[in-house]
Amino acid sequence: MAEVDVDGTEVTVSEHEPSTTTSEKPLPGPDVEVRIAATPAHLSVLRAVAADLAMRADFTLDAISDLKMAVDEACSELISRSVPDGDLVCRFSVEAEQIHFSAEAPTTSLTPPSRESFGWRVLTALTDVVNTWVVPGPGDTHVLRFDLVKKRSDAVAL
C-alpha cells in the first residue's frame, strides 16, 4: 500500500492498518497521550503540545512549525469526521531523531480522507511519513486514524 510521493513523503491511504511500521524501532508507549473532546476549540491545545515537545527535542524552527501545522491538519480532519461527542485521542512519541504522532477519532465513514484533497497535500508536504486508515470500532462505528512522523531537521524539500 505504501508508495513514495513526489516530494519523498511515504504515503498510505487504505482501509486496513499498514502491515509494516515505518518507524525503525519498536514503539514503546507514547510519551504524551491527550484524550480530548473532538471539537475545533481544542486544536490550539494540541498544537501547543506538539510545539512544546518539538522545542524540547531541539527541532529546528521550521520543523517545529511544520509539526504544529501537520498536527493541526490531521486533528482538524479527525474532528470534522468525528461522530458527535466523539473523543479525539492523540499520542506523541519523541524518538531519537523524530517525533511520531498518531491520532484517532470515531467516525461513521468507511472512507479515509482523499489523497486529492488540499489537506492531504499539506500533510505530505509537512511530514516525512504520513498514513491514514479506517479500522472497525465498537458497534456500527469506525475509527479513523492518522499516523505521522516528523524528523528533527527540516530536510523536507519545499
Partner 1 sequence: MTENSSSALPIDVVVDRPAPGVVVASVSGELDMLTAPRLHAVVTAELADCAVLVIDLSAVSFLGSAGLAVLVETSHEAERRQAQLRVVATGRTVRRPLEITGLDEVLTTFPTRDDAVGAPG
Residues at the interface with partner 1 (CB under 8 A): 40-41, 43-44, 47, 61-62, 65-66, 68-69, 72-73, 76, 79-80, 118-119, 121-122, 125-126, 158
Helix locations, the chain, DSSP H: 43-56, 61-81, 118-126
Nearer to partner 1, 30 or 119 (CB): 119
Which secondary-structure segment (H or E) carries 131?
strand 129-136
Dihedral sign of CA atoms 45, 77, 21, 128 in order:
negative
Rounded to a whole number of angstroms, the minimum distance from the CB of residue 17 to partner 1 is 25
Angle at 23 between CA 112 and CA 104, to 5 degrees: 35
DSSP conformation class of 28: -
The helix-helix angle for 118-126 and 61-81 (nearest 10°) equals 150
Rounded to a whole number of angstroms, the minimum distance from the CB of residue 26 to partner 1 is 31
> What one-letter code names the amino acid at 54?
A
Nearer to partner 1, 45 or 110 (CB): 45
Rounded to a whole number of angstroms, the minimum distance from the CB of residue 125 to partner 1 is 5
Rounded to a whole number of angstroms, the minimum distance from the CB of residue 29 to partner 1 is 28
Instruction: Give dist(CA 127, CA 23) in Å, integer.
Output: 13
Nearer to partner 1, 15 or 39 (CB): 39
Nearer to partner 1, 42 or 95 (CB): 42
Nearer to partner 1, 44 or 136 (CB): 44
Rounded to a whole number of angstroms, the minimum distance from the CB of residue 49 to partner 1 is 14
Which secondary-structure segment (H or E) carries 32?
strand 32-37
